[in-house]
Amino acid sequence: MHTAIQVINPNSSRAVTAGIDAALAPLRMAGGPDIRCLTLAEGPPGVVTQLDVQSVAVPLAALADSLSAQSAAYVIACYSDPGLHVLRERLSQPVLGIGECGVLTAMTLGERFGVIAILDASIPRHLRTYAAMGVTGRFAGELAIGLNVQELAEQARTLARMKDIGKRLRDERGADVIVMGCAGMAAYRDELQQSLGIPVVEPTQAAVGMAIARVQLNWHGG
C-alpha cells in the first residue's frame, strides 16, 4: 500500500533524523498517513557546501525510487531542498521540500518573512531559491547564527543565538514572521516564538502538514 509519507533527512546524522521524527508526532493521526523518517546513509554529516547540496541528489533519487511502491509522498528534510526537482521529475507521488514549504507557510502568517540560517555561507544559495520561487517581494532578510555542528549541540547557546538573530530580523529588517532555516530544530520553536512575539515556522512540520493533505486527497502531480 502507498500510504507512507517518507521524510528523508539527506544528511547522515541519525540524531537529526531522530529530532525530526519527534517533531512530527503531533502530525501522526490515527486515520492519517504513516509518517516515516529516514536518514540518507550516503549523505554528508551536514549539508553545508554547494557540493553537499548537489551531491546528495543521486543517492536521494535512488533511495526514493527504491521506496516508491510503499510511498504516498516524499518530504526532503533539508532547508536547501536538495534534489527537489530531481524527485519531482521522476516520481508520480507528491514531493515537497521543507525550504519551499516553510516559506510558503510563512506567507500566510505575516507580510515579510525573515530567515534564521545556521551559516553565512548558505545565505547566497537561499537568496537564489527565494528569487527562483518568485517570492523576494515578501523577503525581509536572512541572518546566520554562525554555529558549527559541534556548537549546535550546546542547546542554550543555540537558542540564545536564534533569539538574537530573530530580534534583529524583526527590528532591523522588518520581518513579521520568522522561518527557521534548517531541519531538526523544532524543539526551539515554541520558546523562540514566545520570545519574539511574532510567528515562527518550523519548516519540516510545515512541509509534512502539506504532504498529509496531499495524501488524503490522493492528489498526484497531473
**Site residues (CB under 8 A) for a copy of itself, limited to 6-35:** 26-32
> Could you tell me the smallest distance in angstroms from the CB atom of residue 154 to a copy of itself?
26
**Measured between alpha carbons, how far is 45 from 204 in angstroms, rounded to an integer?**
19
Cα 152 from chain centroid (whole Å):
17
Q: Which of 10, 43, 46, 83 binds a copy of itself (CB under 8 A)?
A: 83
**Cβ at position 142, least distance to a copy of itself in Å:** 9
Decide whether 154 or 190 has the Cβ nearer to a copy of itself: 190
Residue 39 touches a copy of itself, criterion: CB under 8 A: no
Cell numbers placing 167: 530580534
Kindly state the cell numbers that stand for 153: 549541540
Is 153 or 213 the residue whose CB approaches a copy of itself more closely? 213
1: CB partners within 8 A, 6+ apart: 70
Please report, in angstroms and rounded to a whole number, the separation of the first and last CA atoms in the chain: 20
According to CB under 8 A, which residues from 113 to 172 bind a copy of itself?
121, 124-125, 127-129, 131-138, 141
96 vs 152 by CB, closer to a copy of itself: 96
Q: How far is the CB of 63 from a copy of itself (least distance, A)?
A: 13
Here's the x/- map for a copy of itself, 199-218, by CB under 8 A: it reads as xx-x--xx-xxx-xxx-xxx
**What is the spatial distance between Cα 9 and Cα 46, in angstroms, rounded to a whole number?**
10
Among 107, 119, 147, 187, binds a copy of itself (CB under 8 A): 107
Binds a copy of itself (CB under 8 A): choice among 8, 77, 86, 180: 86
Q: Does 57 bind a copy of itself (CB under 8 A)?
A: yes
Task: Tell the residue number behind the cell numbers 554555529, with chain if given.
Answer: 147
Residue 89 binding a copy of itself, by CB under 8 A: yes
Contact between 38 and 63 under an 8 Å Cβ cutoff? The reply is: yes
Task: Kindly tell me which of 107 and 159 has the beta carbon lying closer to a copy of itself.
Answer: 107
Distances, alpha carbon 25 to alpha carbons 28, 30, 205, in Å: 5, 11, 10
Work out the angle at residue 42's Cα, subtended by the Cα atoms of residues 71 and 149, and round it to the nearest 5 degrees. 110
In 3D, which of 161, 163, 153, 154 has the Cα closest to residue 193?
Answer: 163
- 50 scored as a contact of a copy of itself (CB under 8 A): yes
Does position 222 interact with a copy of itself (CB under 8 A)? The reply is yes
